[in-house]
């Protein structure tokens, strides 16, 4: 009789090639759609359009204007007048990335960016998950499709964060390089940074600091030193825009967005958000003090990172699936079928709710934001399962210890 765990692994392995074909076929269809629409057109504006626009502005020497809400709104409206406003609040280091892809037409740049970063993310995910790659791939499907359809950078940040997870578990200072490169989205690396700090990985922290300084200096030299003050102004503007309800909350995955969507005052929502973030980061510190394995602590740190920023979106949920990849061996041994199903469904809720709403054309300003509940449930379940695994290991050690 076939072991149920082996059977699930085989199902994932058999399904993986078909899933990969579907993912790259979707990228090809999106490229065709964008090719027929021109730079901005009837195909609709996706996030990659903004990447291309900012990259072009950087080469023209006007990159700082992307952080000016009024100026950037005028530039967007002169190209497409659909009433929507997309803000630019990425650090200048990411500006270098989008500038590189702006050399080619939108459709080709989109194809190169998405197919390349997807390949990087999948390679890292494969290394983390091992024989469970197919299962984790299926669990991550809503996240993968969300990024492809929006042209976002979740595969890039997921690959970088995944390299940190892979290398920090194996020790070595090189984990500091991807940690430093997370400067392109630093709010997604808070939990990972806390993990490096409390575990005393000073070499990793030093390499990360040098990486941040060098990449920041290079971006300042290439785009002008005024780009960093402009970025700080853009960050403040984005924060005000968020507090005023300017973003689509149903796409967001933060506790702040969830509480705001249910009608709580901004101050109360922010207080609850900070409380949950502190609890998540506190869990990382607590398990480090208990001496848990680096793999388990890193998985918890990845999920905690997804709960830190009020400005969290469904396309940032790679962190959840990196955690599931790291947790796969423990899930196979210690989790019940109900817990495994709950983990997958929670990941789908966090990364796929906004996609479902968008595809079903159910958009409404009154729609709740529920992604944060999925992330919180993932954290609780992984903590529960890891705690069980650690207790089992301690019992086994006690039983085998000499009298």
Q: What is the mean pLDDT of residues 202-222?
A: 95
Residue 269's pLDDT is what? 93
| Percentage, residues of the chain above pLDDT 90 | 62
The mean predicted confidence, pLDDT, of the chain is: 88
DSSP 368: P
- Tens-place pLDDT, residues 335-349: 888 998 899 999 999
Place of tokens 């990228």: 27
What is the band of 46 on the pLDDT scale with cuts at 50, 70, 90?
confident
- Tens-place pLDDT, residues 354-368: 888 887 777 666 788
Whether the per-residue pLDDT at 20 is higher than 60: the answer is yes
Q: What is the pTM of this model?
A: 0.93
Whether the per-residue pLDDT at 5 is higher than 80: the answer is no
DSSP 367: P
> What are the tokens at 10?
């085989």
- Tens-place pLDDT, residues 135-171: 999 999 999 999 999 999 999 999 999 999 999 988 7
For every residue of 118-171, DSSP letters joined together read HHHHHHHHHHHHGGGHHHHHHHTHHHHHHHHHHT-SHHHHHHHHHHHHHHHHT-
- Tens-place pLDDT, residues 172-206: 789 999 999 999 999 999 999 999 999 999 999 99
Place of tokens 């270098």: 96
DSSP 183: G
> What are the tokens at 342?
């709950």
């Amino acid at each position: 009789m076939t072991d149920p765990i082996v059977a699930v692994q085989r199902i994932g392995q058999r399904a993986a090639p078909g899933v990969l074909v579907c993912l790259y076929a979707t990228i090809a269809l999106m490229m065709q759609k964008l090719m027929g629409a021109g730079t901005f057109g009837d195909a609709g504006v996706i996030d990659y359009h903004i990447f291309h626009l900012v990259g072009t502005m950087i080469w023209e020497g006007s990159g700082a204007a992307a952080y000016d809400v009024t100026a950037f709104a005028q530039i967007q409206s002169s190209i497409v007048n659909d009433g929507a406003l997309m803000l630019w609040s990425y650090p200048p280091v990411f500006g270098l990335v989008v500038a590189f892809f702006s050399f080619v037409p939108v459709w080709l740049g989109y194809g190169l960016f998405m197919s390349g970063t997807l390949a990087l993310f999948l390679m890292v995910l494969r290394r983390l998950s091992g024989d469970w790659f197919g299962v984790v791939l299926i669990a991550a499907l809503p996240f993968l499709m969300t990024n492809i359809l929006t042209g976002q950078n979740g595969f890039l940040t997921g690959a970088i964060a995944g390299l940190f997870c892979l290398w920090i578990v194996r020790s070595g200072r090189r984990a500091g390089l991807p940690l430093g490169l997370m400067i392109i989205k630093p709010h997604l690396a808070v939990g990972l940074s806390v993990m490096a700090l409390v575990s005393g990985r000073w070499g990793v922290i030093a390499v990360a600091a040098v990486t941040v300084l060098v990449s920041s200096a290079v971006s300042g030299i290439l785009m002008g030193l005024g780009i960093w003050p402009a970025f700080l102004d853009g960050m403040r503007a984005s924060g005000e825009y968020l507090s005023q309800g300017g973003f689509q909350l149903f796409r967001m995955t933060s506790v702040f967005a969830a509480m705001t969507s249910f009608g709580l005052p901004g101050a109360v929502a922010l207080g609850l958000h900070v409380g949950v973030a502190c609890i998540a980061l506190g869990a990382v510190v607590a398990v480090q003090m208990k001496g848990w394995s680096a793999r388990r602590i890193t998985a918890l740190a990845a999920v905690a990172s997804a709960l830190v920023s009020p400005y969290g979106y469904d396309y940032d949920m790679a962190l959840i699936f990196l955690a599931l990849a790291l947790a796969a061996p423990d899930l196979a041994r210690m989790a019940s079928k109900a817990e495994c199903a709950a983990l997958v469904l929670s990941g789908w809720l966090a990364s796929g709710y906004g996609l479902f709403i968008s595809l079903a054309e159910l958009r409404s300003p009154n729609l709740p934001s529920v992604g944060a509940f999925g992330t919180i449930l993932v954290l609780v379940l992984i903590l529960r399962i890891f705690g069980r695994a650690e207790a089992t290991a301690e019992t086994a050690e006690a039983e085998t210890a000499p009298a």
